[in-house]
């Protein structure tokens, strides 16, 4: 029997971002099971060495070094918050190892030791701004959690919206990660007075549910003044309840409701293992397909060392649940399929717009354009 | 995606009134907006650092041209030059960074030593920033943006200083011319100024130029007679 191929996994099973961390674990594990059931990696079993960084950047850094130095791991899959990724990058650069990062983020980064499989703003913000301004108007109210991702996301959204005639920014508020319904209720009073066309939320984590509940309690109507988000996924909807989320919008490359054989097969295999105890979402899907990208590259390289893997990884493609994705050789980010979904009464999303072809990642784009033809989506609605 | 709570405001915020803050949305600065229009020359050997530099600038979206060995002039319309300052090329005399009159490119030195010989060479080149090797992708964008801003500001300041110097010199000439007129015509200061101004009006010239002409004429007339002033 050959030695197993061991890879490191750093997704948080506990702490503030554990809801998404758990689903990223499920995505990675599903891919590992599939790989082993189909003969493993050149006859070797793929085995995950897993630690729980507990949503704490310093733990991410310490555990990454432990994986590399003590466990002899060459490839790590992990991280959600930008702060956790920033903590791990110096470690993988120091030891020249490879990190796969399956999360949307604000862009403006490249490390030769990282593969980025989540969306950057030209793959979600532009499409969301386009849809919201053309459907509801361009008078926007911005609410975010208090840290860098919302600041940069809101900068981009503000710039995009202000390109639209009749645009206005009616408010911009940042609340702590542990903000409650009462905190949001105060903002709802201001929203009632200012009457925006839509609300752009960059609130993340558990307080997402508080925001949507405060909105519902205020008696607002999502048909005339919905919330638009890049981070409110099926997982957050399960936390807040489908009735609270229904009618609001999210832009993402993946929704559970994607109608494709690849997605149906993947979801069936997941439910076979976990039953209904899972909330597949954009981060679950990226965690899933990036494991397969690694496996395919390993089969060609016969090694898990970064120098051997990269030539086979860069430019490689995979039939992911969202569509056929591709790793960009120039910037290590991924060609993805932007979509806009409206939350429905069943806790999922009804897809109202989707890309007809994969959109290239442009992580260093400063000025985005509304109506950019490379980013335009095909209509599915009605 | 980042979720690092802001420690200063991050305590449980239940029911407290909202903290009013300065809105974060501000106009994106011109140095960030111009990044994709920048024409950049990389004067650097074709090695790992030179290639990393070119690749990262291309990711940012700049138009990049690599040049090696160094040439006597840069391609037309170069906005920024990254220049390898190395022990084996110290004797080269680069003149691009001191281009007078026209607008010289923003210059960023790429250094692999920081001993006094190299640092002195960098100072002499009047660069706007330094990039140490080995090159890392992180930090390049910030260095580039800051160098552009500093370069633009220092050029604007130089222009402003030149204008002020000319203005100051003109004022001194006017004072001298007034003194000459007051002495030769036995008039007061206001009358002397009015005379200069009337001349400037009828000759469609500036007060400073007329003053200069008066001072000049007075110097010629007083040749051999000692000092008039």
Same domain, A233 and A367: yes
Residue B8 lies inside a defined structural domain of this protein: no
Tell me if B6 is assigned to some domain.
no
Same domain? A18 vs A115: yes
B-interface mutation test, from A55, A176, A283, most B Cβ less than 10 A away: A176
- B123, B63: one domain: yes
Are both A239 and A185 inside the same structural domain? Answer: yes
Q: Is residue B189 part of a domain?
A: yes
Out of B9, B28, B60, closest to residue A146 by CB: B9
**Could you tell me if B181 and B133 lie in one domain?**
no
Position B208 in a domain: yes
Residues A17 and A82 grouped into a single domain? yes
Q: Which pTM value belongs to this model? A: 0.84
Inter-chain touch A172–B25, beta carbons under 8 Å: yes
- The answer to whether residues B73 and B129 belong to one domain is yes
CATH number at residue B209: 1.10.10.10
Structural domain boundaries enclosing A360: 122-257+338-379
B45: domain range?
Answer: 31-138
- Is A300 found in the same domain as A194? no
Are B183 and B215 found together in one domain? Answer: yes
Distances (CA, A) of A95 to A87, A90, A236, A291, B49: 14, 9, 36, 21, 19
Q: Which residue of B has its CA nearest to A142?
A: B25
Co-location of A136 and A245 in the same domain: yes
Q: Which of B1, B23, B40, B55 to mutate to test the interface with A (most CBs of A within 10 A)?
A: B1
Residues in chain B within 8 Å Cβ distance of A105 = 1-2
Q: Nearest chain B Cα to A367, which residue?
A: B33
- The number of folded domains in chain A is 2
Tell whether A94 and A132 lie within a shared domain: no
- Residue pair A128/A153 in contact by the 8 Å Cβ criterion: no
- Are B1 and A231 in contact (CB < 8 Å)? yes
The reply to whether B134 and B214 lie within a common domain is no
Q: pLDDT truncated to tens, each residue of chain A (382 aa)?
A: 579 999 999 999 998 888 899 999 999 999 999 999 999 999 999 999 999 999 999 999 999 999 999 999 999 999 998 889 999 999 999 999 999 999 999 999 999 999 999 999 999 999 999 999 999 999 999 999 888 889 889 989 998 998 888 899 999 999 988 889 999 999 999 999 999 999 999 998 888 999 999 999 999 999 999 999 999 999 999 999 999 999 999 999 999 999 999 999 999 999 999 988 889 999 999 999 999 999 999 999 999 999 999 999 999 999 999 999 999 999 999 999 999 999 999 999 999 999 989 999 999 988 887 766 556 677 664 4
**In-domain check, residue B143:** no
Distances (CA, A) of A382 to A317, A350, A352, B145: 32, 11, 9, 47
Looking at the structure, tell me whether residues A252 and A372 fall in a common domain.
yes
Q: Which of residues 49-78 of B touch A (CB under 8 A)?
A: 55-56, 58-61
Total number of domains in chain B = 2
Instruction: Please indicate, yes or no, if residue B67 is contained in any of the structural domains.
Output: yes
Task: Please identify, among B107, B138, B169, the residue that sits at the C-terminal boundary of a domain.
Answer: B138
Report how far residue A350's alpha carbon sits from residue A250's, in angstroms, rounded to the nearest whole number.
10
Determine the Cα–Cα distance for residues B196 and B210; give it in Å rounded to an integer: 7
Question: Are residues A232 and A374 both part of a single domain?
Answer: yes
Question: Do the domain assignments include residue B226?
Answer: no
Which residues does chain A have within 8 Å of residue B16's beta carbon, measured at their own beta carbons?
183
- The answer on A156 and A105 residing in a single domain is no
What whole-number distance in Å separates Cα of residue A114 and Cα of residue A103? 12
């Amino acid at each position: 029997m050959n030695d197993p191929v061991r890879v490191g996994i750093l997704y948080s099973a506990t702490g503030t971002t554990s809801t998404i961390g758990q689903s990223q674990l499920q995505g990675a594990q599903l891919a590992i099971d599939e790989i082993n059931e189909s003969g493993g990696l050149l006859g070797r079993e793929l085995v995950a060495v897993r630690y729980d960084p507990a949503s704490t950047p310093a733990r991410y850094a310490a555990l990454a070094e432990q994986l590399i130095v003590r466990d002899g791991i060459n490839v790590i899959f992990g991280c959600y918050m930008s702060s956790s990724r920033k903590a791990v990058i110096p470690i993988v650069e120091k030891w020249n190892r490879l990190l796969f990062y399956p999360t949307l983020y604000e862009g403006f980064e490249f490390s030769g030791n990282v593969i980025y499989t989540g969306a950057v703003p030209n793959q979600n913000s532009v499409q969301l701004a386009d849809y919201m301004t053309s459907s509801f108007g361009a008078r926007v109210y911005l609410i975010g959690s208090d840290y860098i991702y919302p600041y940069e996301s809101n900068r981009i959204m503000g710039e995009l919206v202000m390109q639209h005639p009749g645009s206005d920014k009616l408010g911009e508020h940042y609340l702590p990660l542990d903000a409650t319904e009462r905190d949001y209720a105060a903002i709802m009073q201001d929203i009632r007075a200012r009457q925006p066309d839509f609300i752009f939320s960059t609130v993340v984590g558990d307080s997402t549910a508080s925001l949507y509940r405060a909105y519902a309690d205020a008696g607002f109507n999502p048909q005339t003044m919905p919330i638009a988000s890049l981070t409110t996924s099926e997982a957050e909807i399960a936390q807040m309840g489908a009735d609270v989320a229904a009618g609001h919008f999210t832009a993402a490359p993946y929704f559970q409701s994607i109608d494709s054989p690849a997605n149906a097969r993947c979801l069936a295999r997941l439910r076979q293992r976990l039953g209904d105890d899972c909330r597949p979402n954009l981060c679950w899907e990226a965690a899933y397909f990036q494991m397969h990208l690694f496996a395919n590259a390993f089969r060609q390289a016969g090694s898990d060392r970064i120098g051997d893997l990269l030539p086979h990884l860069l430019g490689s493609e995979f039939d992911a649940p969202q569509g056929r994705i591709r790793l960009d050789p120039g910037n290590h980010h991924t060609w993805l399929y932007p979509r806009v979904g409206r939350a429905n009464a069943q806790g999922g999303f009804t897809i109202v717009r989707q890309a007809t072809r994969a959109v290239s990642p442009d992580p260093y784009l400063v000025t985005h354009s509304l109506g950019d033809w490379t980013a335009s989506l095909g209509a599915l609605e009605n | 995606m980042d979720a690092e709570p802001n420690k200063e405001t991050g305590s449980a915020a239940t029911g407290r009134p909202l903290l009013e803050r300065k809105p974060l949305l501000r106009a994106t600065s011109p140095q960030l907006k111009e990044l994709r229009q920048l024409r950049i020359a990389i004067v650097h050997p074709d090695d790992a650092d030179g290639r990393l530099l070119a690749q990262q600038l291309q990711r940012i979206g700049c138009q990049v041209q690599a040049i090696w060995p160094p040439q006597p002039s840069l391609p037309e319309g170069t906005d920024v030059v990254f220049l390898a300052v190395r022990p084996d090329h110290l004797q080269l005399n680069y003149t691009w960074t001191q281009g007078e009159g026209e607008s010289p490119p923003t210059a960023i030195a790429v250094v692999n030593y920081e001993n006094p010989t190299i640092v002195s060479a960098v100072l002499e080149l009047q660069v706007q920033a330094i990039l140490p090797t080995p090159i890392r992708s992180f930090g390049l964008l910030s260095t580039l943006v800051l160098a552009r801003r500093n370069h633009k500001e220092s050029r604007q300041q130089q222009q402003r200083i030149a204008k002020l110097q000319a203005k100051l010199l003109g004022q001194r000439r006017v004072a001298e011319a007034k003194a000459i007129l007051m002495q030769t015509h036995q008039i007061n200061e206001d009358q002397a100024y009015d005379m200069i101004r009337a001349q400037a009006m009828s000759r469609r010239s500036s007060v400073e130029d007329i003053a200069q002409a008066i001072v000049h004429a007075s110097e010629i007339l007083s040749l051999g007679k000692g000092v008039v002033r």
